[in-house]
Structure 1
Amino acid sequence: MLWLLPALIVLTAFVYVPLVQNFGFATQRSNIFSGDSEFIGLRNFEVLIKDPIFWRSLFNNLLFAAVSVVCQVGGALVVAAAVESVRSRRLRQALRVIYFVPSAVSITVAGLLFYFIYEPDIGMLNGALNAVGLDSLTHAWLGQSSTAMIAIIIMSQWQGFGYTALLFTVAIQRVPGELYEAAQIDGIGPVRRFFSITVPLVREMSGLLTIVTVSGAFQVFNEVMVMTSGGPNNSTQVLGTWLYHNGFVRNDFGYAAAIAIVIFFVTLIIGLVQLWYTRRRKVEL
C-alpha cells in the first residue's frame, strides 16, 4: 500500500476529484474567468438535448467510429495478413516499416500535412486531379460542409492504420504455421485460409482493437482542431471540440461540463465492455 499510495494520491487529486466536481459544474451556469456561478439544476442537459450542434457532433463521432472500425480493424487485418503471406523476409520487413511510418507521425503534424494537401489552389490533391483531367472533381475539401468531415476522417485513418496493422501482424505471427501448411496441402486457397484460419485465431485481438478504436473515436480532438476547428458552419464539430468551444470560447463552462459527462458515460460504457470481453476471454482460455 505504501508503494501504491503516491499513485493513488495523484489519481485522486487530478482524476477522481475533478470528475466529481464536473458533475457539480454541470448543474451551474459558470463564468470561468470571473469565478461567478449560479445553480440551474438540469437546465444544461435540457439545452443539450435541444442543441442541434450537439447531435451533429455526436453523429460525427459515430461516423468516425464506424469508418475507423472498417479501416483500422478490418482493413488493417487484411493488409497484415497479406504482408505476412509474402515469402521474402526482407520485403515483409520493408512493408511493415512502410505502413507503420504514418503512425510515428504526430497527429498534429499529420493534420497540418493534410491541411496543405487539401488546399484548394496549391494543394496536392486538386493538383493531381487537374493533372489527370478530372477538374470537375476538385473541391475546397475542408471548406465545404459536404466533404470536410470525410477529409478529416481520411487523414485520421492514414495516421492510425499502421499501428493496428502492426498489432495484427503480431497476432498473426502467433498462429501456428502448421495450420497454414496443412491447409495449403489440402488445396485451400489464400482467401479461404484467411477466413477459416486467420480471422478466427486473431479474434481476441480483433475484439480488443475494435473496442479501443471505438473509444478513441469518441475522444477525437486534435485532428479537427488543427484542420477546421469545427467548421465550416459547425459541420465538423465532434463532442471534444464542441466542449472546448462552449467552455473556452463561449465561456459557458456549465454547458461544457454537461457535454463532458456525455463523453464520460460513453467511454465508461465502452471501457466496461472491454473489461467484460477480457474476462470472458480469460474464462474461455
Structure 2
Amino acid sequence: MLYVKKRTIALYMLPALVILTAFVFFPILLNFVYALFRWSSFSTQWEFIGADNFIRMFQDDTVRTAFFNNVWYAVISLVFQVGGSMIIAALLEEKWMRRAQPFFRTVYFLPSMISLTVVGLLWQTIYSPIFGIVNPLLEKIGLAFLTTDWLGNTKTAIFAVIAVSQWQYFGYTMVLFLVAMQNVPSDLYEAAIIDGASSLQRFLHVTIPNIREIILVNCMTTIIGAFQVFDEVYVMTGGGPGRSSEVLGTYLFRSGFRNDEMGYASAIATLVFVVTFIFSVVQMRISGVGRRDA
C-alpha cells in the first residue's frame, strides 16, 4: 500500500519535474557548456577554449564594476526596501494609524504595479537637468549645491537608478510585512502593554521575533533580485555614462547581443546563477527548509 502511495505521488510530481528539467535544469547546464566555447549567434563553428571565458571574466574591470554595483543595489535595498518598509508597516499597524492604513497601503503599493519600462522613462524625465523636478526642488529648499545631471554623472548614476527601485518596490515588501504583523497574536501585544512595554519595545521584542520568517524571505528575495536587476538600468542609463552604472544583467546583454560574444555572455550568466544559487541555499539553511525534526 505504501509503495502504491509513493508511486502515485511520483506520478503527480512527474509533469512538474519534466517541465523543470526542460526549462530550468537543462538550460542551466547548457549555459555552462556554452561558456566553454568562443562562438557568436551567426557562427557555424564553435571554438572550444575551456575556462578562458571565466578567466577573462575575473580579469575584466567592467565585470568588477558591475558586480559591485549589484552589491550596492543589494545593500541599499536591504536598508530601505526591507528595513524601511518594516518600520513603516509597524507604524501603520499602530492603533492611531489603523483608519488611514488602507490609504497609505494603496499609495505605497501602486508603484510596484507599474511597468518597469514606464517607471524608467518617467524617472528619466524627473531626473532630467532640463525638464526634471529634482534639481529645481533642491534649489527651492536651499540645497542647490547638490544639483547635478543625476543620470549623466558617473558618481550618481547607479545610485539614482537604485533610488527608483526603492520607490517602486518599497510598498510591495511593506504589504508583506503588514500581512505578517497582522498574524501576530494580539495576546502577545496585550501582555506586553500590561508589562509596561513601550511601542518600540513591543516592536523589538514582540513584532520582530514573530515575523522573522518574512524578514528572512524579504531579505533573500531582495538580495537575489538585486543581482538579477536589468530593466531599470537598461531603460534609464543603459549602463552608462561610460560603464559606471553597469550591472551584471546589462553587461551580459551587451556582451551577448551587442558584441555578439555569446560564450562570454554565458560565463557572466553563470556568475549570476552561482551568486543567486548561493543566496538561495543560505536562505534554505537559515529557514530550515527540508530539515526534519528529530
**TM-score range normalised by the length of the shorter chain:** over 0.9
Contact 2:92 2:98 in 1 (8 A): no
What's the C-alpha RMSD, in Å, of the aligned pairs?
Answer: 2.0
Pick from 14, 18, 22 the counterpart of residue 23 of structure 2.
14
Alpha carbons of structure 1 residues 61 and 16: separation in structure 2 relative to 1, 3 Å: same
Indicate whether 1:190 and 2:163 are aligned: no
1:159 corresponds to which residue?
168
SS of residue in 2 equivalent to 1:237? coil
SS of residue in 2 equivalent to 1:146? coil
Unaligned runs of 5+ in 2: 1-9
Alpha carbons of structure 1 residues 47 and 278: separation in structure 2 relative to 1, 3 Å: same
Q: Which amino acid aligns with 2:69?
A: N
- C-alpha separation in 2, matches of 1:77 and 1:283: 30
The percent of aligned pairs where both chains have the same amino acid is 46
SS of residue in 2 equivalent to 1:243? helix
Indicate whether 1:32 and 2:29 are aligned: no
Moved more, 218-227 or 105-114: 105-114
1:113 corresponds to which residue?
122
Q: Deviations over 1:159-217 (max 9, x none)?
A: 01111100100111111112222222332211121111111111111111111111111
1:274 corresponds to which residue?
283
Contact 1:149 1:235 in 2 (8 A): yes
Indicate whether 1:145 and 2:165 are aligned: no
Contact 2:91 2:97 in 1 (8 A): no
1:51 corresponds to which residue?
60
Moved more, 11-20 or 98-107: 11-20
Q: Which amino acid aligns with 1:204?
A: E
Contact 2:224 2:279 in 1 (8 A): yes
1:236 corresponds to which residue?
245
- C-alpha separation in 1, matches of 2:166 and 2:290: 28
1:247 corresponds to which residue?
256
Pick from 235, 259, 262 the counterpart of residue 271 of structure 2.
262
Q: Which amino acid aligns with 1:174?
A: N
- C-alpha separation in 2, matches of 1:85 and 1:35: 65
- C-alpha separation in 2, matches of 1:86 and 1:107: 35
Q: CA deviation at 1:133?
A: 4.1
Alpha carbons of structure 1 residues 32 and 267: separation in structure 2 relative to 1, 3 Å: same
Contact 1:96 1:166 in 2 (8 A): yes
Q: Which amino acid aligns with 2:190?
A: E
Pick from 210, 213, 221 the counterpart of residue 201 of structure 1.
210
**What TM-score do the two structures reach when normalised by structure 1?**
0.93
Contact 1:76 1:164 in 2 (8 A): yes
Alpha carbons of structure 1 residues 282 and 200: separation in structure 2 relative to 1, 3 Å: farther
Q: Which amino acid aligns with 1:197?
A: V
Q: Which amino acid aligns with 2:26?
A: V
Aligned length: 285
Q: CA deviation at 1:67?
A: 0.8
